[in-house]
Amino acid sequence: MFSATAPPVAGARYRPAYAATLEDWRSRWAAAGITHGVVVQVSFYGTDNTEVLAAVASDPSRLRGVAIVEPSIDDRELARLDGGGIRAIRLNLKSVADYAIYGAGAWKALYRCIHARGWHVEVYVDVGRLPEIAPAFADTPVGVVFDHFGNPGATPEAVDRTFASVAALAKEREVFAKLSAPYRLGGANPAGLAARWLEAVGPRNLLWGSDWPWTNFETVQDYGRLRAMLDDWAPATLRPAILWDNAARLYGFD
């Protein structure tokens, strides 16, 4: 969610001209059977997490947040974010040329610090580039959540490369997939990818996400329809875990 007035950071690729309000988002929940939510910092606000913190503070029992931070962030600021309901940091690597910098010493130190707080890293990669970021987390125990099925691409070769990296990464830490945004997959089959993720990480490490407000895809999405798609991606016995149990454990909901 985001306001219509807060300015974007310099170099932002995209800044919607509208507001995506907390009230609008939450008004869609009941019909889809949703009761809690995670507010993810948008890339065009950079490391100014003010709006995420304000949203979570409005209902701290039902909301958690994911922040964007610099690797130089200190313990005092991490503690402030933690107290404000932040439970993860986000790496939005869309259109980033060099992923290797995220495996540098300062970032690795940050991964260890957030792991000690029970946080994880949420990662969005360009199509097929998950294998490029996976080495960044080596020698750290931090958990990783990959947005949008890990965005592996549509070719069998690209999908196989992605899941080979997932398998290696999952040997040393928890790895999660967010089953979300099938419209961002470039033609890949979400049901097939969900099956691959289930095989790779198991039912305790799958999450559903609405990707609301669907930036750049706003006019063709429907919250209820996106929730219903999960019924095609996962058997009924696994849906309660994907919709609630796993998120409750990961984000610290009661």
Paired strand residues for 39? 65
Residues 6+ apart with CB under 8 A from 224: 28, 31, 32
- pLDDT for 10 equals 87
Res. 105 pLDDT band, cuts 50 70 90: very high
Count the domains in the chain.
Answer: 1
- pLDDT for 69 equals 98
Q: Tell me, what CATH number does 63's domain have?
A: 3.20.20.140
Would you say 103 and 135 are in contact if contact means Cβ atoms under 8 Å apart? yes
Secondary structure of 90-132 in the HEC alphabet?
EEECCCCCCHHHHHCHHHHHHHHHHHHCCCEEEEECCCCCHHH
Statement: residue 14 has pLDDT above 90: no
Q: Is residue 9 part of a domain?
A: no
Percent of the chain residues past pLDDT 70, beyond the cut: 100
Q: Is residue 205 part of a domain?
A: yes
Residues 39-85 pLDDT 10s: 999 999 999 999 999 999 999 999 999 999 999 999 999 999 999 99
Q: Is residue 216 part of a domain?
A: yes
Would you say 88 and 121 are in contact if contact means Cβ atoms under 8 Å apart? yes
Tell me the average pLDDT of the chain: 96
Angle subtended at Cα 90 by Cα 107 and Cα 221, rounded to the nearest 5 degrees = 160
Q: Is 1 exposed, middle or buried (0-12, 13-18, 19+ CB in 10 A)?
A: buried
Statement: residue 229 has pLDDT above 90: yes
Amino acid found at 8: P
Q: Is residue 4 part of a domain?
A: no
Q: Is residue 3 part of a domain?
A: no
Residue 236's CB is within 10 A of a number of other CB atoms, namely 7
Residue 146, H or E segment: strand 143-146
Q: 172-195 burial by CB neighbour count: b if 16+ within 10 A, else e? A: ebbbbbbbbbbebbeebebeebbe
C-alpha to C-alpha distance for 202 and 110, rounded to whole angstroms: 27
Residue 158's CB is within 10 A of a number of other CB atoms, namely 19
C-alpha to C-alpha distance for 136 and 133, rounded to whole angstroms: 6
Orientation angle between helical segments 190-201 and 223-233, nearest 10 degrees: 60
Residues 6+ apart with CB under 8 A from 195: none
- pLDDT for 12 equals 86
Backbone angles phi, psi at 77, to 5 degrees: -70, -40
Q: Is residue 243 part of a domain?
A: yes
Q: Report the relative pairing of strands 206-208 and 175-179 from DSSP bridges.
A: parallel
C-alpha to C-alpha distance for 186 and 22, rounded to whole angstroms: 29
Statement: residue 11 has pLDDT above 90: no
Domain range for 247 is: 22-251
Statement: residue 246 has pLDDT above 90: yes
Q: Is residue 14 part of a domain?
A: no
Average pLDDT in the 127-136 region? 97
Tokens of 2: 């985001």
Q: Is residue 209 part of a domain?
A: yes
- Comparing C-alpha atoms, which of 178, 87, 164, 103 is closest to residue 137? 103
